[in-house]
């Protein structure tokens, strides 16, 4: 048991690499073998993450310390360690990553037809980068995984992107954008070392970074923040996102929206909040303001879209705004230590932000899968050519309804709790910004119902409006065909999660709440 505990995180992180190496050794022609292997292999990390979640809940709750810590010297001369560990914040995100990876592989096994081997190889590799970021407690390790996640996604977008959406441009843009952020983050990390003498996040947090040199502290803060804000992406660094999401293959978009965006938010909570509480408190309002702008702006822009996938991409900008708002509120609350209610509002905001990370993961993941469902059949995403599908493809309609209403924050579905907690926190700390942010809720409802539901499903189905239908497997079809079994298998777990967590978020929330209380108490709240 202890052996497993000490190795489980490393297993989760590196098993996908092993998997991709094995895939690399397989002959290119054995596509079915490759697909099956990749899917089954990806189940191992999934099971491990589930085990971690259960074990953590049973044995490590209320410990206020990183569980499953492993610390091996990597570059001892400069104190760079392979230091991994998990707490309430990372455990659910690990599960999310594993789940979406498996589903993505399973879905892609049916729809990816060219260069299969490379796809599955890269997809496994990608998950390593994401797992790594969520568990690494050493800045350099964090950076390494951060960049490793970048490369496979660059390939996924570039190779399997839909030629109409200029995937090569999108891929380069995505890569350069993130690199531009992260390279300065690297400089800031070095700065952290120079000031604290360690790359270890926990130690650095204890010693405090650039406490003597506020100028450097501010600079490093912004370097980190911009890197994370680009990844999130926060307004105004979001413009890579619509292109990347639109161009990427379905599973790629799912991972991109479901997990990669979370890396940024996670980084803010894990690194920025613990290393630069002073600066964060000082500039927290900017973060919150950016979040609010993102919410409203993203919602409005989504309302203007007629391309389904691009719409959902922009909706991500809006939804990630909630996270930024929540985090910003937490930061501002650091200034209000002592004022009654500040502490619990901060906890609520923290919960809201982290809940949104997870919920947006499953909801937008599902939405992108659903885009894939219609795109694989109609080969267009132009909302103007659809209508009345509700009568023709009821299962698809129902699934989309669940995802859509979850996304607009309907109580009883997953999205609501994230929004509720975020606003509960934000109203307690930055009420005016929260008031503006509330506009976003209404606009969100508008674009989900008016753009997606109405133009896809309602109205009278007119077979003459769009004629290039095929089945999901590419055979010719006279009209839209309802979801195939594999699509149901991909989507329904997510829908079920939405419903369960919507009615009873506690199983998820207890982790985040644990993390919130711990991290905030470490900030001497």
Partner 1 sequence: MSESIFNLTWLIPLPTALAFFAIILFANPKKRLSSKIAVGGVIIAWILSWAVAIMFFVNPEFTEQPFDLAVPWIPMGNIVFHMGVAVDAVTAGMLFMVGFVLTMIFIYSTGYMSFPGHLDPEKYPDAAKEGLDPRYSRFFAYISLFATGMLGLVVADNLLMLFIFWEIMGLCSYLLIGFWFDKSYPDPKQITPKAAGLKAFLTTRVGDVLFMMGLIFLFIHAGDLNFQNIFANQEFLHELSTTTVNLPFFGAVTWAGLISMLIFWGAIGKSAQFPLHVWLPDAMEGPTPVSALIHAATMVSAGVYLIVRMSPLFSAAAHGGSGVMMFVAFIGAFTALFAATIAVAQKDIKKVLAYSTISQLGYMFAALGIGAWVAAIIHLLIHAFFKSLLFMGSGSVIHGVHHGHEHAHAHGHGEGGHEEYFDPQDMFNMGGLLKRMPITGWTFIIGGASLSAFPLITAGFWSKDEILAHAWADGHMAVYWTLAAGAFLTAFYTFRQIFLTFFGSPRTEAAEHAPESVRSMTWPLVALAFFALFGGFVAVPVDFPVVGGLASDFLAKLMEMQGEFYGLHVAPARFDWTPALISMTLALSGIVVAWLVYGWKPLKAKQSDPLRRWLGPVYTVLENKYYFDELYYFIAVRPTLWLASFFYLFDRGVIDRIVNWVGAFNRWLARTLRRWIDEYIIDGAVNGVGLVTTWTGAVVRLIQTGQAQNYLLILLLSVVILLLLIPFGS
Partner 2 sequence: MNVLEILRLLAPEFILLITGFAVIGVDLARRRQDEGKTAATVAVMGLLLAALASVWLYLGHPGEIVLFTMAIDVYGLFFKTAAFIGVALVIIASVNFMAGRSKYLGEFYALLVFAALAISVVVSASNLILIYIGIEFLSITSYILAGFLRGDKRSEEAAIKYFLYGASAGAILLFGLSILYGVTGTTDLATIGDLLLRSRSAHWLGLVALMMALAGIGYKASLVPFHQWAPDTYDGAPTPVSAFLSTASKAAGFAVLGRVILTAFPQLQPDWTQILGAIAVLTMFLGNLTALKQKSVKRMLAYSSIGQAGYILLGLVAVNQSGNFGGMNGLMIYLFGYIFTNVGAFLLLLAIEQKSGGSTDISQFKGLATRSPALALIMAMFMLSLAGVPPTVGFLGKFYVFAAVMNQQMLVLGALAAVNTIIAAFYYLNVIRHMYFSESEVEGGVMASRGLMTVLVVNAVMVLAIGIFAQFFMTWVNNSVSMIIANGF
Q: Interface residues with partner 1 (CB under 8 A)?
A: 169, 172-173, 176-177, 180, 236-239, 243, 297, 300-305, 341, 343-345, 347-348, 351, 388, 390-391, 394, 398, 405, 410-412, 416-417, 420-421, 423-424, 427-428, 435, 438, 441-443, 445-446, 449-450, 454, 457-461, 504-506, 509-510, 513, 516-517
By the 8 A CB rule, do 142 and 133 touch?
Answer: yes
CB of 163 to partner 2, least distance (A): 10
Query: Toward partner 1, which CB reaches closer, 132 or 415?
Result: 415
By the 8 A CB rule, do 326 and 426 touch?
Answer: yes
Nearest to 410 by CA among 401, 397, 399, 398: 401
Query: Toward partner 1, which CB reaches closer, 109 or 348?
Result: 348
Candidates 18, 43, 57, 219; binder of partner 2 (CB under 8 A) is 219
Quote the CA–CA distance of 80 and 184 in Å, as a whole number.
Answer: 19
Quote the CA–CA distance of 275 and 262 in Å, as a whole number.
Answer: 19
CB of 147 to partner 2, least distance (A): 5
Decide: is 77 part of the binding site for partner 2 (CB under 8 A). yes
Query: Toward partner 1, which CB reaches closer, 26 or 445?
Result: 445
Nearest to 309 by CA among 258, 356, 362, 249: 249
In sequence order, what are the residues at sequence separation of 6 or more whose Cβ sits closer than 8 angstroms to the Cβ of residue 6?
A: 68, 70
* Interacting positions 159-178 with partner 2 (CB under 8 A): 159, 167-168, 171-172, 175-176
What track of x and - describes contact with partner 2 for positions 110 through 129 (by CB under 8 A)? -----x--x-----------
Quote the CA–CA distance of 34 and 26 in Å, as a whole number.
Answer: 7
By the 8 A CB rule, do 112 and 249 touch?
Answer: yes
CB of 218 to partner 1, least distance (A): 22
Candidates 14, 37, 51, 184; binder of partner 2 (CB under 8 A) is 184
CB of 115 to partner 1, least distance (A): 24
Long-range pairs for 451-455 at CB < 8 Å and ≥24 separation?
451/302, 451/303, 451/305, 451/306, 451/311, 451/383, 452/308, 452/311, 452/383, 452/400, 452/404, 453/400, 453/401, 453/404, 455/383, 455/384, 455/386, 455/387
Residue 200 pairs in a beta bridge with: 138
Query: Toward partner 1, which CB reaches closer, 152 or 409?
Result: 409
Query: Toward partner 2, which CB reaches closer, 79 or 493?
Result: 79
Query: Toward partner 1, which CB reaches closer, 97 or 517?
Result: 517
Alpha helices in 84-213 (DSSP H): 90-111, 116-135, 139-148, 150-160, 167-196, 201-207
* Interacting positions 9-68 with partner 2 (CB under 8 A): none
Q: Name the residues that contact partner 2, by CB under 8 A.
A: 73-78, 115, 118, 140, 143-144, 147-148, 150-151, 154-155, 158-159, 167-168, 171-172, 175-176, 179-180, 183-184, 186-187, 190-191, 193-194, 219
């Amino acid at each position: 048991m202890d052996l497993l505990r000490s190795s489980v995180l490393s297993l989760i992180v590196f098993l996908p690499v092993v998997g991709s190496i094995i895939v690399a050794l397989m002959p290119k022609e054995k596509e079915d073998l490759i697909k099956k292997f990749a899917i089954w292999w990806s189940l191992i990390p999934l099971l491990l993450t589930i085990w971690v979640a259960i074990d953590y809940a049973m044995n490590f709750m209320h410990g206020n310390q990183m569980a499953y810590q492993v610390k091996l010297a990597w570059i001892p001369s400069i104190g760079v360690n392979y230091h991994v560990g998990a707490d309430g914040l990372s455990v659910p995100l690990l599960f999310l990553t594993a789940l979406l990876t498996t589903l993505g592989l399973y879905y892609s096994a049916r729809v990816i037809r060219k260069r299969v081997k490379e796809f599955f190889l890269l997809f496994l590799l990608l998950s390593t980068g994401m797992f790594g970021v969520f568990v690494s407690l050493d800045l350099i390790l964090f950076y390494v995984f951060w960049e490793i996640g970048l490369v496979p996604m660059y390939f996924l977008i570039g190779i399997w992107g839909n030629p109409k959406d200029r995937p090569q441009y999108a891929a380069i843009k995505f890569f350069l954008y993130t690199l531009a952020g992260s390279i300065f983050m690297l400089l800031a990390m070095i700065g952290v070392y120079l000031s604290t003498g360690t790359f270890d996040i926990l130690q650095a947090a204890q010693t405090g970074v650039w406490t003597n040199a506020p100028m450097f502290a501010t600079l490093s803060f912004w370097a980190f923040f911009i890197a994370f804000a680009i990844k999130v992406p926060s307004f105004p660094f979001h413009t890579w996102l619509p292109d990347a999401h639109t161009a990427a293959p379905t599973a790629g978009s799912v991972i991109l929206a479901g997990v990669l965006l979370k890396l940024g938010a996670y980084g803010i909570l894990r690194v920025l909040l613990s290393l630069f509480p002073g600066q964060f408190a000082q500039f927290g309002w900017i973060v919150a303001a950016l979040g609010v702008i993102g919410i409203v702006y993203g919602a409005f822009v989504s309302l203007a879209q007629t391309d389904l996938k691009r719409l959902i991409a922009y909706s991500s900008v809006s939804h990630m705004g909630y996270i930024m708002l929540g985090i910003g509120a937490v930061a501002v609350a650091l200034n209000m230590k002592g004022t009654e209610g500040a502490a619990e509002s901060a906890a609520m905001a923290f919960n809201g932000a982290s809940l949104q990370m997870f919920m947006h993961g499953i909801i937008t993941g599902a939405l992108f899968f659903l885009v894939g469902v219609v795109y694989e059949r109609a080969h267009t995403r132009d909302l103007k050519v659809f209508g009345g599908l509700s009568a023709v493809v009821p299962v698809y309609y129902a699934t989309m309804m669940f995802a859509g209403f979850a996304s607009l924050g309907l109580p009883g579905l997953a999205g609501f709790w994230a929004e509720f907690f975020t606003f509960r926190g934000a109203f307690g700390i930055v009420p005016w910004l929260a008031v503006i942010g509330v506009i976003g809720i209404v606009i969100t409802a508008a674009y989900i119902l008016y753009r997606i539901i109405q133009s896809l499903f309602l109205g009278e189905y007119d077979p003459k409006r769009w004629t290039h239908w095929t089945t999901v497997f590419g055979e010719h079809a006279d009209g839209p065909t309802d979801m195939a079994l594999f699509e149901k298998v991909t989507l329904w777990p997510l829908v079920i999660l939405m419903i369960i967590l919507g009615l009873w978020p506690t199983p998820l929330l207890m982790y985040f709440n644990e993390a919130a209380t711990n991290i905030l108490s470490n900030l001497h709240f």
